[in-house]
């Protein structure tokens, strides 16, 4: 079974631990929002916050909640399940705008997210760059799972250089996203104490 191989493989145990931490964080956040905003709005705030992380972070952290278990249990490639994750996140936001647009004002993250969604230029660049980073990370994640499960032969030379290229691409994407977020926060007059 793929799950047993995956969890036993020493170099990939951290992925399973990351998955458990993300699940715990989402559950804790969900409970807190339900307590603070009530059942209906709390669940909606949690789902919208999840969709913010799907659309606005350059790694598949939010999608990892679905991608990872689906890949381990069914063998479905994470790149395909990530497409489904993006569609679900889009449908959640369409539903929010159609039924309760004021829900975006409940938290700072959601108000920033609403601004990103409603201002195509230049803020959709955040979504585009995040999508590129997310799908790149999922693609490489699929490769790692393939290697662990012996679906693909190890390629030492490729593996040695691929990490350098990935690092360069991710650094570039993250730098562009930081610049766009800085521009967004300055435009909205929000000062974040970083120190």
Look at residue 177 and tell me if it is in a domain.
yes
Give the residue with greater pLDDT, 13 vs 131. 131
Cis before 122 (ω within 30):
yes
Look at residue 194 and tell me if it is in a domain.
no
Show the tokens assigned to 184.
């967004």
pLDDT, one tens digit per residue, over 36-95 is 999 999 999 999 999 998 998 877 766 667 777 777 777 788 888 889 889 999 999 999
pLDDT value of position 152: 55
Mean pLDDT on 18-40: 88
pLDDT value of position 195: 42
pTM of the model: 0.75
Residue 151 has pLDDT above 50, yes or no: yes
State the residue range of the domain holding 41: 2-188
Alpha-carbon distance values, 118 to 4, 20, 32, 131, 133 (Å) = 44, 33, 27, 18, 22
Mean pLDDT on 20-42: 90
Give the residue with greater pLDDT, 110 vs 135. 110
pLDDT value of position 188: 74
Look at residue 164 and tell me if it is in a domain.
yes
Show the tokens assigned to 95.
């539903």
Mean pLDDT on 162-169: 70
pLDDT band, residue 12 (cuts 50/70/90): low
CA separation for the pair 27, 98 (Å, rounded): 26
Mean pLDDT on 165-182: 76
Angle between helices 78-99 and 64-74 (to 10 degrees): 140
pLDDT, mean over the chain: 79
Domain count, the chain: 1
Q: At 192, which helix (H) or strand (E)?
A: none
């Amino acid at each position: 079974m793929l799950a047993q191989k995956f969890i036993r493989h020493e170099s990939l145990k951290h992925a399973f631990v990351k998955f458990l931490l993300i699940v715990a964080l989402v559950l804790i956040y969900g409970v807190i929002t339900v307590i603070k905003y009530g059942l209906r709005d709390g669940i909606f705030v949690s789902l919208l916050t999840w969709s913010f992380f799907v659309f606005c972070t350059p790694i598949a952290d939010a999608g990892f909640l679905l991608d990872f278990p689906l890949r381990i249990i069914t063998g479905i490639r994470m790149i395909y399940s990530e497409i489904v994750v993006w569609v679900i996140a889009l449908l959640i936001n369409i539903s929010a705008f159609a039924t309760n647009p004021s829900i975006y004002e409940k938290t700072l993250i959601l108000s920033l997210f609403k601004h990103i969604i409603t201002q195509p230029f230049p803020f959709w660049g955040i979504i585009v760059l995040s999508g590129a980073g997310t799908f790149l990370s999922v693609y490489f994640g699929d490769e790692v799972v393939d290697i662990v499960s012996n679906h693909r032969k190890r390629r030492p030379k490729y593996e040695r250089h691929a990490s350098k290229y990935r690092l360069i691409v991710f650094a570039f994407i993250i730098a562009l996203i930081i610049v766009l977020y800085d521009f967004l926060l300055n435009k909205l007059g929000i000062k974040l104490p970083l120190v």
